Structure 1
């Protein structure tokens, strides 16, 4: 049981440190802490007390203290685990904002507190029949809510995250319901709870594996942040990033200049097309000007100037600016979020054009580029997806590292694009994740916090 104690409390602490302000993170950490309390109770009874007794150090006062600690830890697990699990499932549900009530946690806490007032039958650690009456619906409803959250999620990246959470929590809690509550209550078999360690090991394995390969409640993002912060600070000047930004815009100016020249020579240049092409060139040159003043030349820090922007309008501008690079590529857009976004316009244009440039370069023979802007209850989700070459897992692990590139054969490529994008999204208090498989294309997911209600008014 020492493994259960250390494993669950370590996971709980890591999750809590990842995002302490997030309500669902606090509740899932509480599940780990209350579950680990059961391990603490077992360690005191099975290891600490016998060890102290064998050494002849067990005084009456110490014995009373250890028994009290064992009892409190046991109650925290028995009564706290179902409660924290249900509360997590509630706040993690996509429908939580529609029926959120401040009094709900206190109402749901009433049955666990009432359990402390009841005296268990002789030989029983808790009043099983009463406890089963509220624990059973708490755990069953929690599992149903987690499964419903998976089924309701339409965003593919967020659905995978919800599947991982449900896989880690639901089987273990269902098994615990039988071994720790129902079977002792109705069959008088009390020691089956020791087998919970097997399912807890499974839960910890799911969390650790998913944290390194994907993300579990933001845990991977925290690890990447530390590594990225360290490596980005090795870049003693913003000059290289600025060069990368200028390179992209100079390329756009050149493409549209060549297009205007070719259309003029062929007699195809109409005043309307000329106006559109000139506008793109002017926007690209303005973007270069803005980027020069956004990046402080003598440090690695990037300055953000937040303003209220329309993400759909901004995305459309990016798509139009990249029109000459889209030969053979069909662009599909899916926009379901109609609100605003607090962002730095210049940096966000740079991020989105970088991501789309990578997508287009992954489809040299043409393909499908899908751009989507959607929302969850707290986030604005931007997805850029291509059906190009895709990446191997080893490449995927390093795509955010500064100076790492898969395009070493191309001139003017510094390997700074995605590390810059990652840093900018993080400075917007957002997250950036990439899912890719060789031969199946690549999806880039960027999540940004929704602005306050007074700023989030509809723009169209």
Structure 2
């Protein structure tokens, strides 16, 4: 049990030391501390108190203090472990950021009532806790937390974040489910009290998962997964008000400037045809309309982007995005492959912004020219958009952070905010889609966006 105590409390301290402000981190570290308290109680009962007795240090005051410390550690584990686990699962669940603020404030207090009431019940003789009462709230807490963690994996659309959720669930759920039987079910119904000692083996498995994932994915697998989950929560901030407006306006003002310079240059050279001027002015008007749409759509600095769904033709919209980028395509070979000719239910303004962003990133990756492929295909249930460039590509470190808010590889550009791909991921996610990037240094980059078919407009 000393191993359990040291291992779990070390994990708890590391989590708090690396990311103390994130609620998910605090609740996960609380699981480690409450679970480690059970190990502390066992260490005191098995080693500290017998050792003090052998050395004749166990005076009446010392014995009383040690007994109370052992009991307090034991109760903290029994009553705290289910509660902290359920609170962690609730905070970790994808929809938690969208919950009502009043519900968020009340929920921790409501859920702590059953553990607190446990102190009012007297345990039966020989029992450490009142099992007949505790069993009716502790086991539902653990089962509910486990179900929420598993369901969060199934709901996660992004393959990279799904892997992190899987690692987190693998580390947290098995020891809690095993503890549910050894700490509550078996003692309450079968009077089997000592099987909790086998918890050490399951906790060893948990620590192995942490160590293994830390070797492959960075410092402490659980911590990496929590940091990646910042994407889901900080996207609420970066897709609101000022940040997104800055990014959208930057792109559209750039288009207006490019086409304005194009019209001016052709007019000075006397090569401007009326038809071409009309087409260029239409692009400028479309860019200004998009700025207006973004201003209208975003209600305030602290509110999320609101989707306005309509039936649209993705092939036509992708072609329009390319046409708006025409001045930047002079040295690039563009390949358009629109196999899917059907419709998509989506937000025209937001998808225009997403696809333009991805295309712009592709063009910026090919400053000396290259090949840009825009492909639209379908599977049985998905509409797939692929935007591929033949540029420099990304290494594993860059690819790992590609969706992180405010991360950018374009540090030399003053107007680049590092919001592009994180914004794109959020919009695709809001359309119930997925977004993945495949890239290798020197082999270009492919961005895949998948959208569900047969999605109906809201009534």
Q: Same fold (TM over 0.5)?
A: yes
2:335 to 317, 321, 328: 328
1:78 Cα deviation after fit: 0.6
SS at match of 1:28: helix
Q: Match of 1:49?
A: 49
1:81 Cα deviation after fit: 0.5
Gap change, CA 1:418 and 1:160, over 3 Å in 2: farther
Gap change, CA 1:420 and 1:3, over 3 Å in 2: farther
SS at match of 1:123: coil
Q: Deviations over 1:179-230 (max 9, x none)?
A: 22111222222222122222223333334544561764656759x9xxxxxx
Q: Match of 1:140?
A: 143
Gap change, CA 1:95 and 1:417, over 3 Å in 2: closer
Gap change, CA 1:330 and 1:125, over 3 Å in 2: farther
Q: Match of 2:181?
A: 178
Runs of 5+ unmatched residues, structure 2: 231-253, 287-300, 308-317, 378-384, 426-434, 450-459
Q: Match of 1:20?
A: 20
The range that moved more, 14-23 or 145-154, is 14-23
2:217 to 192, 213, 217: 213
Q: Match of 2:373?
A: 366
SS at match of 1:102: helix
The range that moved more, 181-190 or 89-98, is 89-98
Q: Match of 2:171?
A: 168
1:320 Cα deviation after fit: 6.6
Q: Match of 1:296?
A: none
RMSD: 5.7
Superposed, which structure 2 residues align to 1:19-418 within 5 Å? Answer: 19-96=19-96, 97-98=98-99, 100=103, 102-210=105-213, 213=217, 216=222, 221=227, 270-275=276-281, 322-323=325-326, 324-325=328-329, 327-328=334-335, 355-357=361-363, 364=371, 366=373, 368=375, 393=396, 417=410
1:161 Cα deviation after fit: 3.3
Q: Is the 8 A contact 1:19 1:218 kept in 2?
A: no
Q: Deviations over 1:412-452 (max 9, x none)?
A: xxx9537989x9549xx99999965769966699xxxxxxx
TM-score with structure 1 setting the length: 0.59
1:90 Cα deviation after fit: 2.2
Q: How many residues align?
A: 367
Gap change, CA 1:108 and 1:221, over 3 Å in 2: closer
1:73 Cα deviation after fit: 0.9
TM-score with structure 2 setting the length: 0.59
Q: Is the 8 A contact 1:363 1:388 kept in 2?
A: yes
Q: Is the 8 A contact 2:358 2:387 kept in 1?
A: no
SS at match of 1:366: strand
SS at match of 1:103: helix
Runs of 5+ unmatched residues, structure 1: 225-248, 281-305, 340-347, 371-383, 401-414, 446-460
